[in-house]
Amino acid sequence: MTEAIRTGVIGFGLAGRIFHTAVVNATPGLDLAVIVQRTGDEAARAYPDVKIARSIEEMLADESIRLVVVGTPSFAHYEHAKQCLLANRHVVVDKPFTLTSAEAAELIAIARERNVVLTAYQNRRWDGDFLTVKNVIASGELGRLVAFRLDFGWWVFDGNERRCQRPSWNYRPGGGGIILDMYPHWRYVIESIIGRIVAVASSAWIATPERIDEQGERYRVAVDDSAASLLEVEGGVFGTIASSWATRVRRDDLLTLQIDGTQGSAVAGLHRCRVQSIAQTPAIAHFSVMQDIGADYHSGWADVPPLPCYRNPYRVGWEAFLRHVAAGAPLASDFTAGIRDVAFAEACHRSMEERRWVACSPPESQSASS
C-alpha cells in the first residue's frame, strides 16, 4: 500500500478501542486522524497522539479524512453512517449494520450513489480456528455434512453481587437484544463455513428480568438476553444456535461450533480446533440409566494444527478493506453483507412473533431490493 488513508473513528466504545489497539498499531497504510468523543476526556488521555473532535461535523470538516469507522452503540449506526456517506466518506460499521434491513438498504443505496465503499465488521470470519475448520471441511475429511451446533455465551452479571459487564443499552429496545447483537455474527460464520441459510425457526426470552445500570439505577430488561434457533442450510444440513448472557460455561470455549459429517466431526472454538474421525469414534453399544458405563467422550479427538501464522481477525479484515479502498482489491465481504446480517436477525424475530419457520431470502434478492 503506497499511501496512508487518513481515518476518523466515531465513538470510544469497544469497537473504537479494538480498532486502535488491534488494527491501527499493526496495519501499514493507515493514518488515524480523529476520534470523535462526545463526552469526557477518556479518548484524549488514551490517545495523546491523535486529534480528538467533539462532534462528527468537526471531524467531517477535515477534507483529508477518507474513511470513517462507526463504533458507536447499535442504535446510532444508521444516523452516523448516513451522515458520513452523505459527506462522501468510505464507511465501516460495527455490527449490526443498522436496526432494520430497510435502513441498511437505504445506506447501501447512498453509498452506491456517492461511489463510496460501505461495509460492516465481520471479524469472526477471520478467527484462526474458524479458518482451520473451514480447511478441514474443504479437504473432505468430514465427508458429507449432516448437522452443526453453535453454542455461545456466558454469565453476565446483573449488577447486584457483581458489576454488569455489558452496557445497559444492550438490554433495552432500540438496539439491544442478543439476537440483534450477536446473530449478525452467526449469519456470516455459518454461511462462510457451512452454506447459505435458507430458513430459521427461533425463540428468545428474558432470563434476567432486572438489572442495574451504569448510574446504579435498577431497570427492567425489555429485550431478549437468551435465544435458541433451528436452521436449515442449503444442501439439507440442519443445525442449532444457542446464545445466552445467562449461562455458565462448561465447554471448550465461550464460542464453539461443532460440525458433524458422515466421516467425522469437528469442533472449533476461538483458540483451538479438534477432529474425530470415523475410526476414532467410540463404539457405544448401549447406555444404562442405573450405572455410568465409563465412556470417556473427550478421548479420540485430535487437535488440528493451527494456521502457520495466526493473525488478529480485526487486522485481517481491515487490511483487506484498506487494499480495496486504496488499490481496488476484491472486497472480502461483499457490498450487501451487512444487510444480510440484519435480515437474518429480522427473520429470527419474525419466526418468534409468528411461531413458525421463516424463509431467508437469497443474497441476490436482497441486493436487488436495495
Residue range 48-95, pLDDT digits in tens: 777 888 899 999 999 999 999 898 889 999 999 999 999 999 999 988
Strand partners, 53: 36
Residue range 95-150, pLDDT digits in tens: 898 999 999 999 999 999 999 999 888 888 888 789 999 999 999 999 999 999 99
Q: Between the CA of residue 13 and those of 34, 76, 102, 247, 368, what are the distances in Å?
A: 15, 12, 26, 25, 34
Residue 229 in contact with residue 152, Cβ under 8 Å?
Answer: no
- Percent above pLDDT 90 for the chain: 60
Q: State the greatest distance between any 2 C-alpha atoms of the chain, in Å, as a whole number.
A: 74
Per-residue model confidence (pLDDT) at position 1: 43
pLDDT over 50 (residue 369): no
**Rounded distance, CA 326 to CA 3, Å?**
8
The correct CATH number of 125-303 out of 3.30.360.10, 1.20.59.20, 3.40.50.720, 3.50.30.30 is 3.30.360.10
Please name which of 158, 156, 168 lies closest in space to residue 210, comparing C-alpha atoms. 158
Residue range 159-215, pLDDT digits in tens: 999 999 999 999 999 889 999 999 999 999 999 999 999 999 999 999 999 999 999
pTM: 0.90
Whether omega before 362 lies within 30 degrees of 0, making that bond cis, reads no
Please report, for the chain, the start and end positions of each structural domain, with discontinuous segments joined by +: 125-303
- Percent above pLDDT 70 for the chain: 89
Cα torsion 5, 16, 80, 179: sign: positive
